[in-house]
Structure 1
Amino acid sequence: MSPIPSPDPLAGGRRHRWAAALLKLAGWQIEMTPPPVPRSLLLLYPHTSYWDFAIAILVKWSIGWPASWIAKHTVFRGPLARILRSWGGIPVNRRAPGGFVREVAEKLTARETVILVIAPEGTRRYQPHWKAGFMRIALTANMPVGLMAIDYKTRRITLSEYLWMTGDEEADMARIAAGYEGVVGRNPSLASPIRLN
């Protein structure tokens, strides 16, 4: 039995059909393996364009997973806040006392089931390394890390591997890097190297 909870009610019907149709029309293929447990953290890499978010939302609607994602709390303002929350957005204050990881972990532990998607670079711009927050969240919340790739070269969005973090950052990052080998972002020069600071 799949550990994924009931599909997002907003992902069914017409939304599911037109999201799938748009992705197909744009030439995208989706190959997603369901999470092995009810609580999982998915890394979306590489994140080099605004288009990555649009494509990821269409994927969420087309496959019907009740996935959530995090963004800066400042984005959730006015009428847009309600829309983003309905799409699975979770506002997080990265400068809050106690830190980003603690805030996210607390939000996750309140849920029995969750699929959380994170862009590990934390930005679309080039960075010399990934942010380590995803690894600390995975360890703190005891969640496996799924390697979700958005490859513009092959026009494929894939998720075929889930890894449990061991706490050995060097070894864990080496496994993650191997899983993303050959993946090309929309703007390759902006893809951050798969390493921690």
Structure 2
Amino acid sequence: VGPLGWFIKALGGIAIDRKRIPGGRKQTYTEAMISMLKESEELVIMVTPEGTRSAVKKWKTGFYHIALGADVPIVVGYLDYKKKEAGIGPWIQPNGEMDNQIEELMAFGRTVTPKHPEKGII
């Protein structure tokens, strides 16, 4: 684990155990996170947005699959640099209509001014 692992654990970090599942393969990170959410009553996972280091054409969808599999809502937090405002935006309960629901979240995102707009979605 080492000193960095101890530090992260002291801050509340949780290691993901990609244990072997029936069939002999290791579970994916998505499967591990779904299991962790289902087993805990108070676990909250924060996923940072796309486009924080470079522009992207579309969002990755792991966050959606995790929320759908664990039957938990997706809640949007935001930082609007133009308005100097932070807050909680809309939330959705995943229902399997991923493309439509992610578009709803993206539509909200287009109303918020990021620190580096040039690094957002192309």
CA drift of 1:84 comes to 2.0
Question: How far apart are the structure 2 equivalents of 1:148 and 1:106?
Answer: 24
Between 1:119-128 and 1:155-164, the stretch displaced more is 119-128
Percentage of matched positions with identical amino acids:
26
CA drift of 1:91 comes to 3.9
Q: Which residue of 1 aligns with 2:10?
A: 86
CA drift of 1:148 comes to 0.6
Question: How far apart are the structure 2 equivalents of 1:185 and 1:121?
Answer: 12
Q: Which residue of 2 aligns with 1:187?
A: 116
Distance 1:160 1:182, change over 3 A: closer
1:22-101 alignment to 2 at 5 Å?
78-92=2-16, 97-101=26-30
CA contact (8 A) 2:34 2:70 kept: yes
Aligned length: 116
CA drift of 1:122 comes to 8.3
Q: Which runs of 5+ in 1 are unaligned?
A: 1-76
Distance 1:87 1:156, change over 3 A: farther
Matched, 1:156 2:80: no
Matched, 1:143 2:63: no
Question: How far apart are the structure 2 equivalents of 1:117 and 1:130?
Answer: 15
CA contact (8 A) 2:80 2:86 kept: yes
RMSD: 2.5
Distance 1:123 1:86, change over 3 A: farther
Question: How far apart are the structure 2 equivalents of 1:88 and 1:179?
Answer: 30
Distance 1:122 1:192, change over 3 A: closer
Distance 1:97 1:192, change over 3 A: farther
Match of 2:38 among 106, 109, 123: 109
Distance 1:122 1:92, change over 3 A: farther
CA drift of 1:97 comes to 2.9
Q: Would you identify which runs of 4 or more consecutive aligned residues in structure 1 move more than 6 Å?
A: none
CA contact (8 A) 1:120 1:131 kept: no
Q: Which structure is higher in RCO with an 8 Å CA cutoff and minimum separation 6?
A: 1
SS of equivalent to 1:117 = coil
Distance 1:90 1:187, change over 3 A: farther
CA contact (8 A) 1:126 1:189 kept: yes
CA drift of 1:166 comes to 1.6
